[in-house]
Structure 1
């Protein structure tokens, strides 16, 4: 039987319900104390290969980012909208009509919504490594459809299919990264996902900036073809990656888990991999039940609270300015910026986002998750309201520059606090045994919220739709304020907490604002 099929929770005498001595508790305590005493740099020196493999797994996020921004940029590319668009009756200028703008930008998210529901059971069964390899091979195949697309419906289908592997990548990457690194590295290892999202947008911004002046099919075919530079090299690297030792322990494969720990750590600093695995066994025993993990379990007992936190944080990524970042070039154009300058500003925005994500590693390590999320979301709400005011004062050169500047600041500030810290919160909140399912359903919530928001965003910005320009800041400011209020009352501080401590606090139903001050003794198991 697998580790998920056996209930080994120790009783008061230190024995499991199967009568086995709970011998590894001492080793588990030693390993947990060692992690608590590590500094960030100590953790990096002790686990260099864990950092490397987290970096490689995070790289898969580039593919979703690249394609999301690619479609957004195509809508503002003359060759694309002249080929597939319709003329404006008033001006005669071609554009992609709002319904197709929205459809193209939500197709990938719809596919990813299906993909994340597939990712949970698939990963629980075969592991993070094989599930991700499967997704990379699917990605290679589906790029062909997009490359040879000759109509908007075919582009829609291609985006839908490409979304399936996106769902696998986005569900697996934060969970895998959080499981292979020690406690002190959980924040930077998961926040690097946001950096790769920014890198994907930089690459696509640079490519479309170079080709947006072309008036033939290569203006969009070359950027599409460049997607092939990611899946195969990543698949080769990940074939040699170690499986998450936490997943192996969940499956009862203890010896393989120890070998995985050895591969992740520097041998000279790893005294006993068995201690680290004992720590994992202790946490998994706290969570173990007689049934296999299921989506139904996410909404039972104390796990429903953890599931709702993950879902709300994921939803918040779409409701506090992120969609302005995803449509930056189009936003700049509708704000009155020239076509060429709009592409340049989009590229500058992406570059600044990458820099600010790296700054967020320092802020999260110092201030914690809850504090940074609240301050970051609060600042963004204020900036969005200011954007709305700038869009309401009438048309002038000053108003145009103000809208463009505030749009850029909103897109960048979002990646300094709320966006990167969300990945850390998502990875830490879920129970270990339910992590693939929790991250999957959390990301599904992201897409369920994003799909109607994309329609709303496209309608608000399109000149034949709402034509709101900067006044869309009022809408996103209101939704961002709702996110801030929810976070204030329900988001706990998880900085410096081991997975055992988090399990215990959630089971004890500790209020969110008391997580930071609650003391959990190292010998406690419930």
Structure 2
């Protein structure tokens, strides 16, 4: 009888002898430059770009929602008139509800994502998610009141994020709002919602033809399909190099199977995986903690600082354009500096920027208004060139490959919970009908940012130039975060020890280059 194409194959058997092909693949991966990686894996780069475009939708949606709080047509339709202030505002409690509604939906979606992605694969889950989101857009487009609008936001179940596509989406959102800022009709805020329908269909078609993750296929025991996927993703590799890559993936998966019996959410909190889950979660949360709620979608902040709506949205559009180029700069920086270095540098500079915003807010002049707004743009540039992109990379790299979907889901949900808290606090800090702190709110986020920086200094490891197998060993050996970069490993010996601790005397100890 012919087995179905998706039937599990016999797994690559565990061996006590280290495969020379694996050693060659590990050494090749560690020594490969960015230019060489693009030459060997051009199709992987192209497919990554195509699939990352799904994130543009989320960046657009998030930018749209927070920017609408100060958008004249939206405020005219949904705002409440305050006689003492002489104008309409979206009340603070509704800002909290609208800002957090999508996050609540995402929390549920991400819990499901960790299971369904491991069960059905990234490609299938992406297609289904795009179809669902296409239908949900109808709710927000036709929403007659704030209650229905909140319901529509809750039903959005977004996928994982990549900073550059998030920025592109927000840049498009800022541009669309700028185009309609003087439109006083309901079309002024409905057309920006409708723009989202332009994304799903072409992305669904792309996803239909995309290759599945070879790592996921290896975990499913579908080795021949993993080999074909590697060939599609790495057209610059020879057949021998392709076999080496598959062997390395199989060996890394084999090592993790010996360390992790299962691949469930509960396993993310066992043994050394608890530390990896903590790092992934806090790394993503570090996006929120140093003032993201105030400075990332800053149109409302610009208006509260004193700019008129037209100037505020022009400045917002320019800030996202700057963020786009800053994110590209981060790609260059990450090839020369480590993830840990960029994260620590970014957090330090963001804290300094927040302190400057809060201090300048004590002045009430026109110049102070522009200084605060300019510093908010600087904040976005620092964020986009450091912690924004690096946090996504780190969160993925610190997780075990067998637990990646689950770890990322947990980390993303931690980000969402922290985001709900910060997005709840920020409107009450800055809204004219609440605390009305304006730029002084930056001092609150300065304090939170300093605490985040202290955590990163002691707990954030360096993952640059480390293979997944090396990271598995470093975590299992409980190497301190600040020694990850300087620790040398005999991967062959250490991997065998982790499989069989009785071989401890036969292996060389880990060596620190500083010793």
TM-score (norm 1): 0.90
Structure 2 partner of 1:184: none
RMSD: 1.8
User: Which residue does 2:325 correspond to in 1?
Assistant: 355
Structure-2 change in CA distance of 1:451 and 1:5 (3 Å): farther
Q: 1:315 aligns with which of 252, 273, 285?
A: 285
Report the equivalent of 2:297. Answer: 327
Q: Is residue 74 from structure 1 mapped to residue 68 from structure 2 by the alignment?
A: yes
Moved more, 324-333 or 142-151: 324-333
Q: Which aligned runs of 4 or more in structure 1 are off by greater than 6 angstroms?
A: 1-7
| Deviation at residue 452 of structure 1 after TM alignment | 1.5
SS at match of 2:288: coil
Q: How many residues align?
A: 489
Deviation at 1:327, TM superposition (A): 3.0
**Residue matched to 1:179:** none
Cα deviation digits, residues 391-446 of structure 1 (max 9, x gap): 123x1112111111111111221111111111110110000000000000000000
**Is contact 2:59–2:169 with CA below 8 Å preserved after alignment?**
yes
CA distance in 1 between partners of 2:195 and 2:266 (Å): 40
Q: In the alignment, what sits opposite 2:140?
A: 146
d(CA) in 2 for partners of 1:248, 1:70: 37
Select 2:335's aligned residue among 365, 386, 395.
Answer: 365
Asked if structure 1 preserves the Cα contact closer than 8 Å seen for 2:9 and 2:222, the reply is: no
- Can you list the C-alpha shifts for 1:286-321, whole angstroms capped at 9, x where unaligned? 111584311111111010000000011111110112
Question: Given the alignment of the two structures, is residue 160 of structure 1 paired with residue 154 of structure 2, yes or no?
Answer: yes
Establish whether residue 451 from structure 1 lines up as the match of residue 445 from structure 2. Answer: no
SS at match of 2:83: coil
Aligned pair partner of 2:176 in 202, 207, 210: 207
The 5 Å alignment of 1:118-267 reads 118-162=112-156, 164=157, 166=158, 169-170=159-160, 193-267=162-236
Equivalent of residue 389 in structure 2, options 415, 420, 428: 420
Deviations along 1:157-188, whole A, 9 cap, x unmatched? 001111x1x0xx21xx6xxxxxxxxxxxxxxx
Cα distance, 1:8 vs structure 2: 5.6
Question: Structure 1 pair 481/140, CA: closer, same or farther in 2 (3 Å)?
Answer: same
Match of 2:95 among 98, 101, 110: 101
2:492 is paired with a residue whose SS is coil
Closer, same or farther in 2 for the Cα pair 1:6/1:507, shift >3 Å? farther
Rounded to whole Å, the distance in 1 between the matches of 2:421 and 2:392 is: 22
Structure 1 window deviating more from structure 2 (259-268 vs 427-436): it is: 259-268
Distance in 2 of aligned mates of 1:380 and 1:495: 23
1:49-64 correspondence to structure 2 within 5 Å: 49-64=43-58
Separation of aligned partners in 2, 1:58 and 1:52? 10
The yes-or-no answer on 1:514 pairing with 2:491 is no
Mapping of 1:378-397 within 5 angstroms?
A: 378-393=348-363, 395-397=364-366
Structure 2 contact 181–309 (Cα < 8 Å) conserved: no
- What's the CA shift for 1:2? 8.7
Comparing 26-35 and 431-440, the one that deviates more: 26-35
Change (3 A) 1:304 1:130: same
For the structure 1 residues 31 and 431, does the alpha-carbon distance in structure 2 shift closer, same or farther, using more than 3 Å as the test? Answer: same
Deviation at 1:268? 5.8
Q: Tell whether 2:458 aligns with 1:460.
A: no
Tell me how far 1:91 sits from its aligned partner.
Answer: 2.8
Q: Deviations over 1:317-343 (max 9, x none)?
A: 101122223331000000111111000
Which whole-Å deviations, capped at 9, do the CAs of 1:496-520 have from their partners, x for residues lacking one? 0000100010011111111011111
Residue number in structure 1 paired with 2:276: 306
Range that drifts further, 430-439 or 66-75 = 66-75
Q: Is the 8 A contact 1:359 1:416 kept in 2?
A: yes
Does the CA-based 8 Å contact 1:4-1:291 persist in structure 2?
Answer: no
